[in-house]
Structure 1
């Protein structure tokens, strides 16, 4: 299960978070842990350079994209490779929406569309869609053509 998708700015303020199957009392711990992890490791990282960590029997894959940091947390069948696939889809979609690696301002200007896109990619802890064109159609609320 994908436990969390978190997006923060470079200072560590949370811009978007999606938790699945994580009790409310543990969410603060995960927020602070992930932001600290990113602050320690993403200072001089290149765009879309992936980092991998493990904590409490879960896997974490995280990266920086422009001025934002993305964290994906998973367990069980969502190991490092599955999380890497998920983060590639998310970063690709964000770049498509913002037309380039986003600044915080660009990200917040496109916030609604980014949230819709995240909901199409990850639904209730499961990686739902990975095809960019299908995600674009679903976000535009047009029916998919193939079944």
Structure 2
């Protein structure tokens, strides 16, 4: 299960967060841990360079895209490899929605479409869609043409 998806700016302010199966009392711990982890390791990172960590028997994969930091936390079948596939789809979709690697302002300008896209990629802790064109159609709220 994909336990958490967190997107923050470079200063550590949370822009989007999604938790699945994480108790409310543990969410602050995860926010703090992930932002601190990214703050230390993403300073000199390149765009879309993947970083992997393990914490409390779960896997963490995170990256930077423009001025945005993206964190994924998974367990069981969502190991480093599966999380890296999900984060690739998220970064590709973000670049597609924004037209380029986003800064905070551009991300917030496209916030609604980004949230719809994230919901099409991951829903209730499970990766749903991986095809960029299908995600575009679903975000426009048009039914997919093939089943």
Equivalent positions of 1:59-78 (< 5 A) are: 59-78=59-78
Which residue is 1:31 aligned to?
31
TM-score by length of 1: 0.99
SS in 2 for 1:4: strand
Work out the number of aligned pairs and report it.
147
Which residue is 1:6 aligned to?
6
Tell me how far 1:95 sits from its aligned partner: 0.2
TM-score by length of 2: 0.99
SS in 2 for 1:22: coil
Task: Extract unaligned runs of 5+ from structure 2.
Answer: none
Tell me how far 1:62 sits from its aligned partner: 0.2
Which residue is 2:110 aligned to?
110
Tell me how far 1:81 sits from its aligned partner: 0.3
Tell me how far 1:50 sits from its aligned partner: 0.2
Tell me how far 1:112 sits from its aligned partner: 0.4
Q: Show CA shifts across 1:55-114 (max 9, x none).
A: 000000000000000001100000000000000000000000000000100000000000
SS in 2 for 1:106: helix
Which residue is 1:96 aligned to?
96
Task: Extract unaligned runs of 5+ from structure 1.
Answer: none
Which residue is 2:84 aligned to?
84
Q: Show CA shifts across 1:95-139 (max 9, x none).
A: 000000001000000000000000000000000001000100000
Equivalent positions of 1:128-143 (< 5 A) are: 128-143=128-143
Which residue is 1:123 aligned to?
123
Which residue is 1:47 aligned to?
47
Question: Alignment RMSD, CA only?
Answer: 0.3
**Moved runs in structure 1, 4+ residues, more than 4 A?**
none
